[in-house]
Structure 1
Amino acid sequence: MNFRVYVLAVSAFVVGMVELIIGGILPLIAEDLNVSVAAAGQLITVFALIFAISGPVLLSLTSKIERKRLYMSSLAVFFFANLFAFVSPNFETLIVARVVTAMSAALIIVLSLTIAPKIVEPAYRSRSIGIITMGVSSALVLGVPIGVLVGDMLGWRMLFLLIAMLTLVAGVIIFYFLEPIKPDHVTSLRQQIASLKSKKIFSAHIVTLLILAGHYTLYGYFAPFLQTTMGLEPFWVSVAFFVFGISAVSGGGVGGWMTDRFGPQRTVVSFIILFAIVLFLLPLSTYSSVLFPLALVIWGMLSWSIAPAQQSYLIQTAPETSDIQQSVNTSALQFGIATGSGFGGLVVQQSSVETTAWAGSVLVILALGFALYSFRKPAGKAAPLGQS
């Protein structure tokens, strides 16, 4: 495997980490900037929403720019945006910094996914994409415990400075080791939208959106959830997030194995049902030092184990537009994070942080309905790529 793929994966990890790294330190940000925890949680919502929209849009708008130069420019914007967040004097400024960070991060992640298969031999293309994906998923699930530890010791602002410095290191390495890459054909936005005319495909993307929305209704506010329900100190909050993160990373492998063995449809339905049950029972398990760790591990594994089954289902259903569907499904994932974080904030404001798990369970049950609808819908002929 070309070592430059691992360099891109490290870069993707650093960039991906900025999305949720503040999830565990929302109380610190809220207190420092004099806003509510629910308002601070919108920092996650805004990031995910901008990320979801920016990825396909920016990739189409920059389709004629040489890839290495575009990558380096995106890293530079990402670097300065994090410095801007580090010195932000108020909540409004931090929101602006998060918007710019999300736009540059979306382009960096998409570029990493498209560059990696071009710098390896054909036999390693799928594996190279998997390595980049692992870097992103690891950042999403491990960013929070890192944020809790660093934020508790050095303050929440130091997190953005740390990410900026790591971005600088990644940029230097990529500058010296990544060769210039000519731009390739990029699917236009019209073509991507045209591929969603199939109700079977569109509802499958809604499944991803609702699952992630249900998950992040709780996960986006999991730090205050732990503090409220169990009275945990920051160190133990970090431990809980770390256990969740390890479980989530391993869940991807479990989901892939289950999909190969039982097929994507059975795997999706089984995991969605289990996911809804675990979310519903999680608040009840906080009263037991034995049941809660078990529920936490199962929740973590299920949170990312559905992704391989969803991706396999999309490839089987629309093989002629599978690349487009993977891109759209990534945006659906980010829309889910934005929806869940925003919905969780409303639940916290209107009810309590404890009820976020039950509210999330309801969204996951809705995802089950869309999954069954998609599976039963006959496959139609996908629109050709040149048509809209």
Structure 2
Amino acid sequence: MDKRVYLLMMIAFVIGMVELIIGGILDLIANDLNITLGQAGFLITIFSLIFAIMSPILLVMTAKMERKKLMMISLFIFLIGNVITVFSSTYSIVFLGRVISATSGALLIILCLVMSPGLVERKYRARAIGLVSMGVSGAIVLGVPFGILIGNTLGWRAPFVVITILTLISMLGVYFLMEKVTPTPPVPIKDQLKTLQSPKIVFAHATTFLYMTGHTALYAYLKPFLQASTSLDGTWISVIYFAFGFAAVSGGGIGGTLGDLFGTKQTIVFSLIIFGIIVYSIPYMTFNIPLLFAGVVIWGVLSWAISPAMQSYLIETSPETSDTQQSLSNSSLHFGVAFGSFLGGIIIEQTSVNQNALIGSILIAFSLVTAYLSIKSRYSVQTRKEWQGE
């Protein structure tokens, strides 16, 4: 595997830390800024929403820029966003810091996803994407539980100080280790948008949106859920987050490998079936902690096993617009995170956090339907020829 893929994985790790770390310190932020848990959860929503919207836009706007230079600029802006968060004193300033971090982070993640498969042989393409996904899921391993531990000790801003340092290290890594990468010739916007005329493509992106919405509806509020349904203290809740995170890291690699070995379609369908069942079952496992741990591990693996398989599936379906499809898939994923955290916040304030798993599993069931519709739909070769003027 090309060493630069691991550098991209590290950058994805840092970005993932910022997006996901809020989930472990919602209560600390809410108490310090005198806001509700739902309002604190909206800091996840706004980050993911901007992430989703800006990812394809920035990819097109910067299509002609040399990739190393673009990464350095984006990392610098990302650094500024986190510095603002560290020194924030009000909810609105934290909000501003999240907006800046999300905007730059959106471009950084999609750059990592777009560049990684081009750095390896064709047969390792899904694994390269899986490694980048492992960077994000790795942020769950260290990010969320780390945020809980250091946040409880030094305050909720402390984790963002660490993230700022990691961003500086990433900038040094890109500067000294990353070679210049010439951007691929951009596909005209009108041709890129034509892919959305295909039901196969639309249903594929809908699948990503739905399963991630279902996942996030519970995961974004996992800490309040565990506090309400178990007698576990803060230390054991951190352990559960660690268990989930380590499983998620392996899930990214497992998903990419299974996609290469058994096919992307089979991997997507099988993973979604088990995923929906396990999310629905989580509330019924809280009576037995070992059983709950087992459920969390399976949940963690599947939460990140689907993404690399879906990315590779989209590349296979529309190789001419593979960069665009990866960008749109990344946007669909983060729209799911945004909507899932928003929906979860409504559920937790209007009913009970115990209902989050039920709603989440229903959404995952819908994603299985859209996945089936995508797989069964045809992506006409004739359409490709029309784009090429044949």
Q: Same fold (TM over 0.5)?
A: yes
1:204–1:374 contact (8 Å) kept in structure 2: yes
Residue 73 (structure 2) aligns with: 73
> Partners in 1 of 2:113 and 2:17 — Cα distance?
16
Structure 2: tracts of 5 or more residues without a match: none
Cα distance, 1:321–1:72 mapped onto 2, change above 3 Å: closer
2:212–2:336 contact (8 Å) kept in structure 1: yes
Tell me which amino acid in the other structure corresponds to 1:101: S
Q: CA deviation at 1:296?
A: 1.2
Q: CA deviation at 1:216?
A: 0.3
Aligned: 1:301 with 2:309 = no
Cα distance, 1:168–1:385 mapped onto 2, change above 3 Å: farther
> Partners in 1 of 2:264 and 2:4 — Cα distance?
32
Q: CA deviation at 1:125?
A: 7.5
Cα distance, 1:26–1:188 mapped onto 2, change above 3 Å: farther
Residue 38 (structure 2) aligns with: 38
Aligned: 1:50 with 2:50 = yes
Cα distance, 1:69–1:208 mapped onto 2, change above 3 Å: same
TM-score with structure 2 length normalisation? 0.90
Per-residue CA deviation, residues 205-249 of structure 1 (Å, 9 max, x unaligned), is 101110000000000111111111113222111110110111122
Cα distance, 1:113–1:98 mapped onto 2, change above 3 Å: same
Q: CA deviation at 1:158?
A: 0.9
Cα distance, 1:224–1:121 mapped onto 2, change above 3 Å: closer
Residue 250 (structure 1) aligns with: 250
1:19–1:140 contact (8 Å) kept in structure 2: no
> Partners in 2 of 1:151 and 1:256 — Cα distance?
33
Per-residue CA deviation, residues 52-98 of structure 1 (Å, 9 max, x unaligned), is 11112112212333333222111111111101011111112111110
Tell me which amino acid in the other structure corresponds to 1:6: Y
> Partners in 2 of 1:68 and 1:279 — Cα distance?
40
Structure 1 segment 223-234 matched on structure 2, within 5 A? 223-234=223-234
Which contiguous aligned blocks of 4+ residues in structure 1 show a shift greater than 6 angstroms?
none
2:20–2:44 contact (8 Å) kept in structure 1: yes
2:110–2:330 contact (8 Å) kept in structure 1: no
Per-residue CA deviation, residues 249-294 of structure 1 (Å, 9 max, x unaligned), is 2223443454455543343333222222211111111111232112
Name the count of aligned residue pairs. 386
Tell me which amino acid in the other structure corresponds to 2:379: A
Give the stretch that moved more between structures: 180-189 or 8-17: 180-189
**RMSD between superposed Cα atoms in Å:** 2.5
Structure 1 segment 141-290 matched on structure 2, within 5 A? 142-260=142-260, 262-290=262-290
TM-score with structure 1 length normalisation? 0.91
Per-residue CA deviation, residues 297-317 of structure 1 (Å, 9 max, x unaligned), is 121122122224323433443
1:88–1:94 contact (8 Å) kept in structure 2: yes
Residue 82 (structure 1) aligns with: 82
> Partners in 1 of 2:122 and 2:273 — Cα distance?
36
Q: CA deviation at 1:16?
A: 2.1
Q: 1:88 is paired with a residue of what secondary structure?
A: coil
Per-residue CA deviation, residues 107-158 of structure 1 (Å, 9 max, x unaligned), is 122233445566x576798365554343233225542122212212221101
Cα distance, 1:256–1:175 mapped onto 2, change above 3 Å: closer
